[in-house]
């Protein structure tokens, strides 16, 4: 197998607006992997947007679905898996992510994230009177969870999606070289 192609699935985690879906699609295209996305799987299940699912059934229900679709993804091979920003809130999800593949945390500075999410209307958690404050609070609370789950971290601030994909590829290769040297 080409050394550029990962030996396992690659799972992308990170806050809303960190580029998981766009970078994930780019990586899948390069490696000819399948691209799967937990939010898209949930949307398909109900033929509804994430906003509709939150408002009709509530967040707890959405979190249950998130866990279900992740479980259904076990057994995937040659896949890039993009996850919703809250996937790390459940420890049981993190355990599943580890079984699925290499976990890459896409980070970005708070200002970068804000610029990316401020105009979006499809993120229910930010549809309130103080979206920036909410974003900052969630980011602070979740960052340690992403850090604890991640095998490696790539900062996407100021980069195009294809540049972030380049970095992910490079970091995965570094890791592989390391594990070869250590064995
Ligand atoms: C969420 C992030 C969203 C989506 C849902 C909840 C979160 O996905 O799963 O709105 O809790 O951070 P993105 O990270 O793709 O925006």
Within a domain: 1:
no
pLDDT in tens, 1-28: 555 788 899 999 999 999 999 999 999 9
Say which CATH number the domain at 133 has: 3.40.50.300
Q: Is the minimum distance from the CB of 84 to ligand 1 under 6 angstroms?
A: yes
Q: What Å distances lie between residue 136 and 79, 111, 127, CA to CA?
A: 31, 10, 14
Within a domain: 4:
no
Is 180 a residue whose pLDDT tops 80?
Answer: no
Instruction: Please tell me the distance between residue 124's alpha carbon and the centre of ligand 1 in angstroms.
Output: 8
Query: Do 106 and 21 contact (CB within 8 A), yes or no?
Result: no
Within a domain: 2:
no
pLDDT at 183: 45
Domain that holds residue 71: 9-182
pLDDT at 120: 85
Other C-beta atoms closer than 10 Å to the C-beta of 140 total 10
Pocket probe mutation, ligand 1, options 81, 84, 143, max atoms within 8 Å of Cβ: 84
Q: Is the minimum distance from the CB of 14 to ligand 1 under 6 angstroms?
A: no
Q: Is the minimum distance from the CB of 125 to ligand 1 under 6 angstroms?
A: yes
Q: Is the minimum distance from the CB of 139 to ligand 1 under 6 angstroms?
A: no
pLDDT at 121: 83
Within a domain: 64:
yes
Within a domain: 74:
yes
Total domains in the chain come to: 1
Q: Is the minimum distance from the CB of 37 to ligand 1 under 6 angstroms?
A: no
pLDDT at 177: 75
User: Which residue has its alpha carbon closest to ligand 1 atom 11?
Assistant: 86
What is the total residue count of the chain?
183
Is 153 a residue whose pLDDT tops 90?
Answer: yes
- Considering only CA atoms, give the Rg of the chain: 16
User: Which residue has its alpha carbon closest to ligand 1 atom 1?
Assistant: 85
The predicted model gives 63-69 an average pLDDT of 98
Residue among 159, 172, 179 at smallest CA distance from 12: 172
Instruction: Please tell me the distance between residue 85's alpha carbon and the centre of ligand 1 in angstroms.
Output: 4
pTM: 0.95
How far is the C-alpha of 139 from the C-alpha of 133, rounded, in Å?
10
Average pLDDT in the chain = 94
Within a domain: 3:
no
Instruction: Please tell me the distance between residue 95's alpha carbon and the centre of ligand 1 in angstroms.
Output: 19
Residue keyed to tokens 């499809």: 122
């Amino acid at each position: 197998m080409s050394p550029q192609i990962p030996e396992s699935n690659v799972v992308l985690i990170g806050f809303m607006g960190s580029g998981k879906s766009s970078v994930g699609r780019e990586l899948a295209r390069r490696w000819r992997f399948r691209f799967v996305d937990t939010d898209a799987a949930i949307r398909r299940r109900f033929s509804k947007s994430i906003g509709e699912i939150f408002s009709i059934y509530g967040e707890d229900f959405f979190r249950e679905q998130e866990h279900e679709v992740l479980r259904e993804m076990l057994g995937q091979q040659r896949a890039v898996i993009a996850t919703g920003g809250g996937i790390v809130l459940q420890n049981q999800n993190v355990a599943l992510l580890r079984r699925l593949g290499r976990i890459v945390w896409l980070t970005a500075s708070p200002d970068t994230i804000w610029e990316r999410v401020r105009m979006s209307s499809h993120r229910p958690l930010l549809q309130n009177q103080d979206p920036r404050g909410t974003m900052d609070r969630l980011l602070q609370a979740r960052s340690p969870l992403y850090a604890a789950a991640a095998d490696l971290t790539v900062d996407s601030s100021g980069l195009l999606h294809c540049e972030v994909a380049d970095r992910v590829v490079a970091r995965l290769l570094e890791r592989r070289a390391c594990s070869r040297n250590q064995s």
